[in-house]
Chains A and B, each alone.
Chain A
Amino acid sequence: MADTSGMADIRGIDIDKLAKGFADEANVFKKFVANSKTKAREIRWYQKTSGFLDTADTTGVTGSHIGPGMAFRSKPFVVEQSWTRVTSYVKKFFVESPTISIEDIKDSDVDVLATNVRDLVRAVARKVDLRIYSILTNAAAATPTQPLTGTTTVQTTAAVADGWNDAVTGDPITDILNGKQLIRAQGYDPEGSMLGMNSAEHKHLLTYLINVKGSSIPQFSSEKVKSGVVMEILGCNVLVSENFTTDWVIQWVPTRAATWKSFMPITSVVVDDPGIGKKIRVWEEGECLLTDPKAVHVISDTIV
């Protein structure tokens, strides 16, 4: 049927070609661990057994033979360091698009090729970021977003009482100080350490500082009411990201606790199939080594 005024088929439409729907969450972890290269897929590294060396105890003698009771004109006791050999293997993070036809690339409203290149690169970078988070928090391979589900080698303390969202018994200040103290007790300098948390924990931390403790620290709280963010607290740099799983807050000594060993940096190529289409392929290879597990502290149960 032919159309006249008042009929839908002859109306124009406006097409907004900029795709929307999701905000981009930044990938954060690689910046806060040490970064170095590996020239092979198998990485052998060594962990020292102890910090300060001392003489071995016997059942009867538990005091040190190094001193201060050491005799003059005598031979000393023998002490030596020992190491644990650790082997890590490079992981590959790899994805490709389907073959995107040259026709789709040419006439689609949205930029199919560029959007896929960008988002596939981000997909790989996200999985690398998650791998670093998993290693840093002792998460099991099957539950990479759940800290402490693997063999626990990092330090961990449950949140005081009922968690940060409990206005009566929650005490994030004590929780953070506990972590700092435990990291310091292992010989690491906790000043300037990272304090990583989900936006949920950040909200509860702000609530605690303003609503619960506002009268005790009025100047600090007033400033937080204005700025709405905590960038630094108790000497720790606060890092807020949705890449942190809520219910856990992670403290670590940056560029010391873990190392990302890069075998191949993130790489993207467009594979051309002339006359048919293009395929995007993205990969990155490397592995995160938790070299200093005691430089990490996980506060668990931060949400009731």
Chain B
Amino acid sequence: MANEATLMIELEVPIPMTCADATGIEKGTVLKLSDPYTVAAATADNDVFAGIAGEEKIADDGKTTIAVYLRGVFKLIITAGNTTTVGQDVVIKGTNTVGGYTTLDDEKGYVVGKALETGAAGESVLVLVGA
């Protein structure tokens, strides 16, 4: 999988969250949240951030939950055409990629976490997920 999130500092163990049994999710996938308490791979700007997949979900293995990191320091990739500024919030911008927040992202629950590094498009930066 390209651009998967890499765990750098584990602040807490993952929790189980609901997912579709029929869809595989790889470890390190940036996940989006939907109602009720359900996660799936994030793919686009303005996806509501849920967490980072802490284990691989095999399609059709009968499980309907996946281990999800809600907090931790992760290495994430910045989407083409985006940047991050140290100390500012980052949001989902594409599949497994993030970028700087825009106005009102906070209020809509899009925020992935706080950028711990300033970065340009395509670079990898540390992000405090869940901040």
Contact = CB atoms under 8 A, between A and B. Distances in A.
B10 A99 contact: yes
Contacts of B13: 99, 273, 276-277
12 contacts: A96-B10, A98-B7, A98-B10, A98-B54, A99-B10, A99-B13, A101-B55, A101-B67, A273-B13, A276-B13, A277-B13, A279-B10
Main secondary structure of the interface of A (DSSP, over half): strand
Interface in B5-23: 7, 10, 13
B13 to A, nearest CB: 5
Nearest to B27: A98
User: Closest 4 CB pairs between A and B?
Assistant: A99-B13, A98-B7, A98-B10, A276-B13
A50 B67 CA distance: 64
How many residues of B sit at the interface, in one of the four size bands? Answer: under 10
Nearest to B9: A96
Interface in A92-115: 96, 98-99, 101
A276 B7 CA distance: 18
Contacts of A101: 55, 67
Contacts of A277: 13
Contacts of B10: 96, 98-99, 279
Contacts of B67: 101
Interface string B40-58: 0000000000000011000
Interface in B48-103: 54-55, 67
Interface in A57-114: 96, 98-99, 101
Nearest to B12: A99
Interface string A245-286: 000000000000000000000000000010011010000000
A99 B14 CA distance: 9
A273 B13 CA distance: 10
A99 B13 CA distance: 7
A73 B54 CA distance: 87
